[in-house]
């Protein structure tokens, strides 16, 4: 965002959405994320290293708490469904 755009957002009280500017919203839709290359766009070596790790470096939520993992396994997702229609 340019300085002038930032100033305009600040002046409008922080309204940074597209409600007041349909043309800007349409342009953003056409771009559809093309500007973002993700975390590794400019660092192929970092991307290759992440690919080699393949998620194995992360232990997940239950890495150090086997009792919690067992409890989650017993629940099997049913506890999260309460109150849903």
pTM (two decimals): 0.26
pLDDT at residue 75 in the model: 81
Q: Count CB-CB contacts under 10 A for residue 58.
A: 9
pLDDT at residue 57 in the model: 61
Name the stretches of the chain with pLDDT < 70. Answer: 12-17, 33-38, 55-60, 77-85
pLDDT at residue 16 in the model: 60
Q: Taking the CA atoms of 45, 48, 53 and 58 in sequence, report the sign of the dihedral they define.
A: positive
Per-residue CA distances from 27 to 1, 18, 21, 23, 31 (Å): 14, 10, 10, 6, 6
pLDDT at residue 73 in the model: 83
pLDDT at residue 37 in the model: 62
């Amino acid at each position: 965002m340019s300085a002038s755009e930032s100033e305009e957002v600040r002046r409008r009280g922080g309204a940074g959405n597209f409600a007041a500017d349909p043309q800007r919203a349409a342009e953003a839709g056409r771009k559809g994320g093309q500007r973002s290359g993700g975390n590794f766009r400019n660092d192929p070596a970092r991307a290759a290293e992440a690919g080699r790790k393949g998620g194995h470096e992360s232990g997940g939520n239950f890495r150090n708490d086997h009792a919690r993992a067992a409890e989650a396994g017993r629940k099997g997702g049913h506890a999260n469904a309460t109150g849903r229609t």
